[in-house]
Amino acid sequence: MSTGQIEFPVELVSLLRRTSKLAALTGAGVSQESGLRTFRDAQVGLWAQYRPEDLASPEAFQRDPKLVWDWYAWRREAVKGVRPNPGHYALAEIGKHVPEFTLIIQNVDGLHRMAGNQNVLELHGNIQRVRCADCRTFAETWDDDTESVPRCRECGGLRRPDVVWFGEALPRAQLEAAVEAARACDFFFSIGTSGVVQPAASLAFAAHNRGAVVIEINAEPTPLTAKADYAFHGKSGEILPRFVEAVWG
Q: What residues make contact with Zn ion under the rule CB under 5 A? A: 132, 134-135, 137, 152, 154-155, 157
135 or 196, CB closer to Zn ion?
135
| Cα torsion angle, 110, 111, 114, 119, sign | negative
- Least distance from Zn ion to the Cβ atom of residue 147, Å: 20
155 or 196, CB closer to Zn ion?
155
- Least distance from Zn ion to the Cβ atom of residue 130, Å: 11
Longest Cα–Cα distance in the chain: 60
C-alpha 201/C-alpha 197 separation (Å) is 6
| Cα torsion angle, 34, 40, 41, 42, sign | positive
- Of 227, 201, 237, the closest CA to residue 111 belongs to 237
C-alpha 22/C-alpha 36 separation (Å) is 27
123 or 152, CB closer to Zn ion?
152
C-alpha 45/C-alpha 74 separation (Å) is 11
120 or 133, CB closer to Zn ion?
133
Active site residue 233: no
Whether residue 190 contacts residue 216, with contact meaning beta carbons closer than 8 Å, is answered with yes
Whether residue 172 contacts residue 9, with contact meaning beta carbons closer than 8 Å, is answered with no
- Least distance from Zn ion to the Cβ atom of residue 60, Å: 20
65 or 157, CB closer to Zn ion?
157
C-alpha 191/C-alpha 25 separation (Å) is 6
- Least distance from Zn ion to the Cβ atom of residue 146, Å: 17
Nearby residues of 118 by Cβ (< 8 Å), 6 or more positions away: 92, 95
Choose, from 88, 97, 112, 124, the residue flagged as catalytic. 124
- Least distance from Zn ion to the Cβ atom of residue 62, Å: 16
CA 225 to chain centre: 20
Catalytic residues: 124
